[in-house]
Amino acid sequence: MTIIGTVDSVWRYPVKSMRGEEPEELFLGYAGVYGDRLFAFTQAGGPAIFPYLTGRDRADMLRYRPRFRDAGGAVRPPNIEQVERAAPGLTPLYADAAALAVDVETPTGEVLAVDDPRLRGQLGDGLTLIRSERALTDCRPVSLFALQTVAALAEEAGMLVDKRRFRANIYADLGAGAAGFAEDGLIGRRLRIGERAVIAVVDRDPRCKMITLDPDTAEATPALLAHVVRGHEGKAGVYGAVLVEGRVRRGDAIEVLD
Protein backbone atom coordinates (compact mmCIF):
# COMPACT_ATOMS: atom_id res chain seq x y z
CA MET A 1 0.00 0.00 0.00
CA THR A 2 1.32 3.42 -0.97
CA ILE A 3 -0.01 6.76 0.25
CA ILE A 4 -0.22 9.04 -2.79
CA GLY A 5 -1.98 12.05 -1.31
CA THR A 6 -4.69 13.38 0.94
CA VAL A 7 -8.27 14.54 0.67
CA ASP A 8 -8.37 18.32 0.20
CA SER A 9 -12.15 18.62 0.48
CA VAL A 10 -15.33 16.63 -0.01
CA TRP A 11 -18.47 17.80 -1.80
CA ARG A 12 -21.99 16.72 -2.57
CA TYR A 13 -24.83 18.24 -4.56
CA PRO A 14 -28.25 17.64 -2.94
CA VAL A 15 -30.12 18.78 -6.07
CA LYS A 16 -28.63 17.83 -9.41
CA SER A 17 -27.02 20.82 -11.17
CA MET A 18 -27.57 23.22 -8.26
CA ARG A 19 -24.76 24.56 -6.08
CA GLY A 20 -22.79 22.06 -4.05
CA GLU A 21 -22.04 21.93 -0.34
CA GLU A 22 -18.79 21.14 1.46
CA PRO A 23 -19.54 19.00 4.54
CA GLU A 24 -16.91 17.75 6.97
CA GLU A 25 -17.32 14.20 5.72
CA LEU A 26 -19.02 12.07 3.08
CA PHE A 27 -20.34 8.53 3.24
CA LEU A 28 -19.35 6.63 0.10
CA GLY A 29 -21.97 3.98 -0.62
CA TYR A 30 -22.37 1.50 -3.44
CA ALA A 31 -25.16 3.66 -4.88
CA GLY A 32 -23.11 6.84 -4.56
CA VAL A 33 -22.38 9.50 -1.96
CA TYR A 34 -25.05 9.65 0.73
CA GLY A 35 -27.28 12.66 -0.02
CA ASP A 36 -25.59 13.41 -3.35
CA ARG A 37 -27.89 14.19 -6.28
CA LEU A 38 -30.76 13.04 -4.08
CA PHE A 39 -33.16 15.25 -6.04
CA ALA A 40 -33.37 16.21 -9.69
CA PHE A 41 -35.83 17.95 -11.96
CA THR A 42 -36.87 16.20 -15.16
CA GLN A 43 -38.23 17.91 -18.25
CA ALA A 44 -41.41 16.89 -20.04
CA GLY A 45 -40.49 15.61 -23.46
CA GLY A 46 -36.82 15.31 -22.59
CA PRO A 47 -34.80 12.38 -23.95
CA ALA A 48 -35.43 9.16 -22.04
CA ILE A 49 -31.73 8.53 -21.62
CA PHE A 50 -31.15 11.91 -19.94
CA PRO A 51 -34.37 13.70 -19.00
CA TYR A 52 -32.84 16.02 -16.38
CA LEU A 53 -32.88 19.80 -16.26
CA THR A 54 -29.26 20.88 -15.74
CA GLY A 55 -27.01 23.89 -16.05
CA ARG A 56 -26.50 22.95 -19.67
CA ASP A 57 -30.11 24.00 -20.21
CA ARG A 58 -30.36 26.71 -17.58
CA ALA A 59 -27.04 28.06 -16.34
CA ASP A 60 -28.48 29.95 -13.37
CA MET A 61 -29.36 26.65 -11.66
CA LEU A 62 -25.87 26.97 -10.15
CA ARG A 63 -27.07 30.06 -8.29
CA TYR A 64 -29.67 28.04 -6.39
CA ARG A 65 -28.27 26.82 -3.07
CA PRO A 66 -29.84 23.65 -1.61
CA ARG A 67 -29.40 22.79 2.08
CA PHE A 68 -30.52 19.86 4.20
CA ARG A 69 -32.70 21.05 7.06
CA ASP A 70 -30.94 18.63 9.41
CA ALA A 71 -27.40 19.35 8.28
CA GLY A 72 -25.78 17.05 10.83
CA GLY A 73 -28.18 14.15 10.55
CA ALA A 74 -28.12 14.16 6.75
CA VAL A 75 -24.39 13.46 6.49
CA ARG A 76 -24.41 9.68 7.06
CA PRO A 77 -26.82 6.73 7.22
CA PRO A 78 -28.69 6.35 10.51
CA ASN A 79 -27.25 2.84 11.01
CA ILE A 80 -23.65 3.96 10.39
CA GLU A 81 -22.33 2.41 13.62
CA GLN A 82 -23.66 -1.03 12.70
CA VAL A 83 -22.35 -0.66 9.14
CA GLU A 84 -18.85 0.18 10.36
CA ARG A 85 -18.78 -2.62 12.96
CA ALA A 86 -19.86 -5.24 10.43
CA ALA A 87 -17.78 -6.84 7.72
CA PRO A 88 -18.24 -5.14 4.35
CA GLY A 89 -21.68 -5.88 2.99
CA LEU A 90 -24.17 -4.62 5.60
CA THR A 91 -26.56 -2.32 3.80
CA PRO A 92 -26.61 1.31 4.96
CA LEU A 93 -30.13 2.64 5.45
CA TYR A 94 -31.34 5.93 4.09
CA ALA A 95 -33.10 8.13 6.60
CA ASP A 96 -36.77 8.80 5.94
CA ALA A 97 -37.80 11.62 3.64
CA ALA A 98 -38.45 14.04 6.51
CA ALA A 99 -34.92 13.59 7.88
CA LEU A 100 -33.48 14.34 4.45
CA ALA A 101 -35.70 17.32 3.68
CA VAL A 102 -34.04 19.96 1.52
CA ASP A 103 -34.69 23.68 1.25
CA VAL A 104 -33.35 25.79 -1.60
CA GLU A 105 -32.20 29.38 -1.36
CA THR A 106 -32.97 31.10 -4.66
CA PRO A 107 -30.73 33.75 -6.26
CA THR A 108 -32.98 36.44 -4.73
CA GLY A 109 -32.55 35.02 -1.21
CA GLU A 110 -35.99 33.43 -0.94
CA VAL A 111 -35.96 30.02 0.76
CA LEU A 112 -38.34 27.38 -0.62
CA ALA A 113 -38.78 23.69 0.04
CA VAL A 114 -37.38 21.64 -2.83
CA ASP A 115 -40.90 20.36 -3.59
CA ASP A 116 -42.54 23.78 -3.47
CA PRO A 117 -44.38 24.44 -6.78
CA ARG A 118 -43.04 28.00 -6.68
CA LEU A 119 -39.51 26.64 -7.09
CA ARG A 120 -40.51 24.59 -10.11
CA GLY A 121 -42.23 27.67 -11.48
CA GLN A 122 -38.99 29.64 -11.26
CA LEU A 123 -37.04 26.95 -13.08
CA GLY A 124 -39.40 26.44 -15.99
CA ASP A 125 -42.52 24.78 -17.32
CA GLY A 126 -43.22 21.07 -17.49
CA LEU A 127 -40.82 20.04 -14.73
CA THR A 128 -41.17 17.09 -12.36
CA LEU A 129 -39.20 16.67 -9.15
CA ILE A 130 -37.82 13.19 -8.56
CA ARG A 131 -36.05 11.72 -5.53
CA SER A 132 -33.77 8.70 -5.56
CA GLU A 133 -31.70 6.92 -2.94
CA ARG A 134 -29.30 6.09 -5.76
CA ALA A 135 -27.27 9.21 -6.54
CA LEU A 136 -28.57 10.66 -9.79
CA THR A 137 -25.09 11.09 -11.24
CA ASP A 138 -24.36 11.24 -14.96
CA CYS A 139 -22.13 8.18 -14.85
CA ARG A 140 -20.30 6.47 -11.96
CA PRO A 141 -21.16 6.95 -8.28
CA VAL A 142 -18.06 8.90 -7.18
CA SER A 143 -15.88 11.51 -8.89
CA LEU A 144 -12.33 12.52 -7.94
CA PHE A 145 -10.31 15.50 -9.14
CA ALA A 146 -6.73 16.45 -8.25
CA LEU A 147 -5.77 19.99 -7.25
CA GLN A 148 -2.73 19.58 -9.47
CA THR A 149 -5.03 19.14 -12.47
CA VAL A 150 -6.84 22.37 -11.59
CA ALA A 151 -3.48 24.17 -11.47
CA ALA A 152 -2.33 22.62 -14.75
CA LEU A 153 -5.48 23.66 -16.57
CA ALA A 154 -5.19 27.19 -15.23
CA GLU A 155 -1.59 27.43 -16.47
CA GLU A 156 -2.29 25.82 -19.83
CA ALA A 157 -5.38 27.90 -20.56
CA GLY A 158 -3.99 31.12 -19.12
CA MET A 159 -6.95 31.79 -16.86
CA LEU A 160 -8.05 31.50 -13.26
CA VAL A 161 -9.79 28.17 -12.70
CA ASP A 162 -11.99 27.49 -9.67
CA LYS A 163 -11.92 23.80 -8.71
CA ARG A 164 -15.66 23.91 -8.06
CA ARG A 165 -16.29 24.10 -11.82
CA PHE A 166 -15.62 20.37 -11.98
CA ARG A 167 -18.27 19.41 -9.40
CA ALA A 168 -16.26 16.51 -7.98
CA ASN A 169 -17.12 14.62 -4.82
CA ILE A 170 -13.50 14.35 -3.71
CA TYR A 171 -10.76 16.89 -4.43
CA ALA A 172 -7.37 15.29 -3.86
CA ASP A 173 -3.98 16.83 -3.14
CA LEU A 174 -1.48 14.44 -4.73
CA GLY A 175 1.54 16.34 -3.44
CA ALA A 176 4.02 18.90 -4.69
CA GLY A 177 5.71 16.46 -7.06
CA ALA A 178 2.54 15.35 -8.83
CA ALA A 179 1.84 16.55 -12.35
CA GLY A 180 -1.52 17.67 -13.63
CA PHE A 181 -3.78 14.82 -14.71
CA ALA A 182 -1.84 12.38 -12.51
CA GLU A 183 -5.16 10.83 -11.51
CA ASP A 184 -5.45 9.41 -15.03
CA GLY A 185 -2.69 6.98 -14.05
CA LEU A 186 -4.92 5.52 -11.33
CA ILE A 187 -7.43 4.01 -13.77
CA GLY A 188 -7.73 0.29 -13.12
CA ARG A 189 -6.41 0.60 -9.57
CA ARG A 190 -8.05 0.44 -6.17
CA LEU A 191 -7.79 3.30 -3.69
CA ARG A 192 -8.47 3.28 0.02
CA ILE A 193 -9.61 6.71 1.15
CA GLY A 194 -9.71 7.18 4.90
CA GLU A 195 -9.99 4.23 7.26
CA ARG A 196 -12.46 2.08 5.37
CA ALA A 197 -13.77 3.28 2.00
CA VAL A 198 -12.31 1.65 -1.11
CA ILE A 199 -13.02 2.71 -4.68
CA ALA A 200 -11.99 1.29 -8.03
CA VAL A 201 -10.93 4.04 -10.43
CA VAL A 202 -12.66 3.08 -13.65
CA ASP A 203 -12.61 5.88 -16.21
CA ARG A 204 -11.69 9.46 -17.11
CA ASP A 205 -14.47 11.99 -16.74
CA PRO A 206 -15.83 13.38 -20.04
CA ARG A 207 -16.58 17.08 -19.72
CA CYS A 208 -19.39 19.29 -20.98
CA LYS A 209 -20.66 22.86 -20.80
CA MET A 210 -20.93 22.68 -17.00
CA ILE A 211 -17.21 23.40 -16.52
CA THR A 212 -17.57 26.66 -18.45
CA LEU A 213 -19.95 28.06 -15.82
CA ASP A 214 -18.66 30.14 -12.93
CA PRO A 215 -19.84 28.37 -9.76
CA ASP A 216 -20.93 31.66 -8.16
CA THR A 217 -22.24 33.77 -11.03
CA ALA A 218 -23.05 31.11 -13.66
CA GLU A 219 -21.31 33.27 -16.28
CA ALA A 220 -19.85 31.13 -19.07
CA THR A 221 -16.22 30.89 -20.16
CA PRO A 222 -16.40 28.60 -23.22
CA ALA A 223 -12.63 28.75 -23.72
CA LEU A 224 -12.06 26.39 -20.79
CA LEU A 225 -14.07 23.56 -22.32
CA ALA A 226 -12.49 24.24 -25.70
CA HIS A 227 -9.06 23.85 -24.11
CA VAL A 228 -10.00 20.56 -22.41
CA VAL A 229 -11.36 19.24 -25.71
CA ARG A 230 -8.25 20.25 -27.70
CA GLY A 231 -5.64 19.27 -25.15
CA HIS A 232 -7.15 16.43 -23.17
CA GLU A 233 -9.69 14.63 -25.36
CA GLY A 234 -12.47 16.47 -23.56
CA LYS A 235 -11.74 14.68 -20.28
CA ALA A 236 -10.55 15.81 -16.84
CA GLY A 237 -10.75 14.02 -13.51
CA VAL A 238 -11.78 10.41 -12.93
CA TYR A 239 -14.77 8.34 -11.91
CA GLY A 240 -14.79 5.61 -9.30
CA ALA A 241 -17.01 2.70 -8.28
CA VAL A 242 -17.33 1.94 -4.57
CA LEU A 243 -15.99 -1.45 -3.50
CA VAL A 244 -16.09 -0.95 0.29
CA GLU A 245 -18.46 1.58 1.81
CA GLY A 246 -17.22 4.06 4.37
CA ARG A 247 -16.72 7.62 5.52
CA VAL A 248 -14.27 10.04 3.94
CA ARG A 249 -13.08 13.22 5.62
CA ARG A 250 -10.94 16.21 4.77
CA GLY A 251 -7.30 15.34 5.42
CA ASP A 252 -7.78 11.57 5.02
CA ALA A 253 -4.96 9.63 3.41
CA ILE A 254 -5.41 8.26 -0.12
CA GLU A 255 -3.66 4.90 -0.58
CA VAL A 256 -3.12 2.78 -3.68
CA LEU A 257 -3.91 -0.84 -2.82
CA ASP A 258 -2.71 -2.44 -6.07
Per-residue pLDDT tens over the stretch 88-129: 667 888 899 999 999 999 999 999 999 999 999 999 999 999
% residues pLDDT > 70 (the chain):
99
Residue 61: the pLDDT is: 98
Residue 83 has pLDDT above 90, yes or no: no
% residues pLDDT > 90 (the chain):
86
CB atoms near residue 254 (< 10 Å): 23
| CATH number of the domain within which 163 lies | 2.40.33.20
Q: What is the mean pLDDT of the chain?
A: 95
Residue 89: the pLDDT is: 65
Q: 7 falls in which pLDDT band (50, 70, 90)?
A: very high
Cα pseudo-dihedral 98, 104, 105, 110, rounded to 10: -80
Q: What is the mean pLDDT of residues 233-243?
A: 97
Number of domains in the chain: 1
- Rg, the chain, Cα only: 18
Helix axes 222-232, 147-157, angle to 10 degrees: 100
What are 16-64's pLDDT values in tens digits? 999 999 999 999 999 999 999 999 999 988 788 899 999 999 999 999 9
Query: How many whole angstroms from its chain centre is CA 228?
Result: 19
What pTM was computed for the model?
Answer: 0.95
Find the domain containing 193 and state its range.
2-256
